[in-house]
Amino acid sequence: MAADQEPGTQRILLIAAMLAAIFALSAWGLRPPAPEAANAPPDQFSAGRAVETLARVLGKGTPHPVGSDANSAVRDRILQEFVRIGYGPRVETGFVCNPSGTCATVNNNIVARLEGADKTAVLLAAHYDSVPAGPGASDDGVGVAAVIEIARALKSRPVPRHSVILLIDDGEEAGLLGAREFVQSDPWAKDVRAVVNLDARGTSGPSLMFETGSANAWAARLYARSVPHPPTSSVFYTVYKQLPNDTDFTVLKAAGYEGLNFAFIDNVVQYHTPIDSLANVDPASVQHQGDNALHSLLALANADLSHIALEEAVYFDVFGHRTVRLPARWMPALGIATILLIGFEMGLLLRARRLDLRQFLRGLCAWLLIVSGTATLGFILQHLMQLSGALPVNWIADPAAIQFTFWFLAISVAITLAVLFAPSCGFWGLWSGVWTWWALLSLAAVWAARGTSYVLLIPAVLAAVAALPGALLRSGKFEEILTGSAVVLPLAASGIVGFPIALLLYDGLGNRALPGIAALIAFLFTPMLPLCVDFLKIKGVRGVAIFWTPVVVVFAAGFAALLMPPYSAQAPERVNIEYWKDADTGKTQWIIDPASGRLPDPLLAAASFRPPTKARFPGTQARPSSLRRPAWTILHPRLRFSSRLR
């Protein structure tokens, strides 16, 4: 009996070790590089020098929203930094409005230029205004310091082919106003062909290249060839295009500039808060942001910008060190070929009576139940965690335990249902059911969201190719090797392309994404379903231990998540306190808006706050019928308006 059990046990343990290694490498690939010291070579980016610059720029670290005296002081310190490293910066002034109607006189855009061999230019951009709630050390003080440090490093490098324009703009937080003013009015704007933009949505983490211009394939190729540590994915680019989020790159891209957009997104609990401070800036993230920007800028500044093809690519990084790129136009052909090859292999298996129709249909049902069942249980578990108080806000102080809970929930559901279906499906029934779904969904992704298609298509292609010898040949001596390769290769590919996305989902979306993360992990683990037939061969304590280990981890991690405090000194509860005054009645009120929906005890003890019973500005939800529709008269071509009622 032990001899019969040993091969199945070994194969399961090897698969588990392989997936654990891929997970570890995926997490390692998302770590930013070690920061360079302040005495690094002058032509290199140094986080040590950049953080020193940031400290001087921030001064006392007070908030500096657009139009404030503190913002003017920050502007003056940035000008001093440019002069110190040998540039002659100028300040741009103008009046601008965004599409939502927010207008302001932007008088703090800072522009400098490094002349290249020709007048055509590339732009390096960041914004320096902060939100009123915090000093904006990471959003976007790090970007400002990176621009200054890169400007210094460029002085120690050969003259680039194209000129480099350095833009540190104002009014981004108020509606991308500084970027709009630059493209509308700055005389250098007409020289720009491409841009590198720097921003942040957190205070740490890897610098992600998450958006390109319209020439997606061209930009991804330059990025892949020039950046040494390039975490990116066309999934980011595809998804971001559908979101209502904006950065200055949105305006610059609309102006016709090509290029790259970078940001780091970890520790979002500190984003737009008083603790987005110098003390919480991660030097490793500064280094990564600066390295990415410097190498990308140099690649653009020395590229041929006269003929840029507007083509799309599908791309992703492998463990943060290599970027794989495929022309997007290849994806439909690959998807169709994969479906045809899997269909051919299933035909061979049916003809040889190694697979029957009922096994195939049960395999289809097993896959569907695993993914949908995991999503359903994920929603239930998320709701229970919220009721217990473990998830009072969308981002908690220490999310590791809750993430492990949902990852292992997916693994437990996948293994449990696969073992239940294994006797009636067999190896090839589960294999054909899994890869039929993958192939069909990959083709759907090719047509609906091509940038995401590689996550499904690359494992499906490998599955189809790896299974061909096993479908054509039946040899008792080599059958275990042939069937094993039909599972191991696509399963490894599934982890390599899928785990980094799953790891970043929590940073991007928080606890609201937990059911989706669980469903994604279940999806990525379904390639291993055929090997769950091995569980049927393992008896006794060894089989119980292997089978129940993921379930035990779910309960242990879930219990740990219940014990973890949701807040900490570095991740306090967000509470917005606002003072409102009605200009018509003169009435005033304090409004408290806690992120958790529950007032903290000290605030309850301080005053008798009541739940709101009406809108903050009564009467603004409906227009009084006595007012006539306003008519607008354009007084100035640069969006200055007057209005009169008629």
Within-domain flag for 17: no
User: What pLDDT is recorded for position 640?
Assistant: 39
Instruction: Output the six-digit token pair for 81.
Output: 């930094």
Q: What's the mean pLDDT in 197-209? A: 96
pLDDT of 3 strictly over 50: no
Are 308 and 366 part of one and the same domain? no
Which region among 101-105, 178-182, 427-431, 502-506 has the lowest average model confidence (pLDDT)? 101-105
Domain boundary among 319, 350, 380: 319
Within-domain flag for 273: yes
Are 358 and 467 part of one and the same domain? yes
Q: What's the mean pLDDT in 505-520? A: 94
Distance between first and last Cα of the chain: 93
Are 477 and 535 part of one and the same domain? yes
Are 356 and 305 part of one and the same domain? no
Within-domain flag for 26: no
Are 277 and 379 part of one and the same domain? no
**Domain span at residue 507?**
331-563
Are 197 and 225 part of one and the same domain? yes
Are 391 and 448 part of one and the same domain? yes
Within-domain flag for 36: no
Instruction: Output the six-digit token pair for 607.
Output: 């005053």
Are 493 and 359 part of one and the same domain? yes
Q: What is the pLDDT of residues 527-561, one digit of tens each?
A: 999 988 877 677 665 666 667 888 999 999 999 99
For residues 456 and 404, the answer to whether their CB atoms sit within 8 Å is: no
Alpha-carbon distance of 421 to 569, in angstroms, equals 48
Within-domain flag for 42: no
Are 362 and 304 part of one and the same domain? no
Are 497 and 640 part of one and the same domain? no
Within-domain flag for 640: yes
CATH of the domain at 95: 3.40.630.10
Counted domains in the chain: 3
DSSP state of 191: G
Domain boundary among 319, 354, 381: 319
* One-letter-per-residue 3-state SS of 163-182: EEEEEEECCCCCCCHHHHHH
Are 274 and 352 part of one and the same domain? no
Within-domain flag for 568: no
Within-domain flag for 4: no
Question: How many residues would you count in the chain?
Answer: 646
Q: Helix 142-154 crosses helix 47-58 at what angle (to 10 degrees)?
A: 120
Domain boundary among 563, 593, 615: 563
For residues 167 and 124, the answer to whether their CB atoms sit within 8 Å is: yes
Q: What is the pLDDT of residues 405-445, one digit of tens each?
A: 999 999 999 999 998 999 999 999 999 999 999 999 999 99
Q: What is the pLDDT of residues 278-323, one digit of tens each?
A: 999 999 999 999 999 999 999 999 999 998 999 999 999 999 999 9
Are 448 and 488 part of one and the same domain? yes
7 Cβ neighbours under 8 A, 6+ residues apart = 480, 534, 537
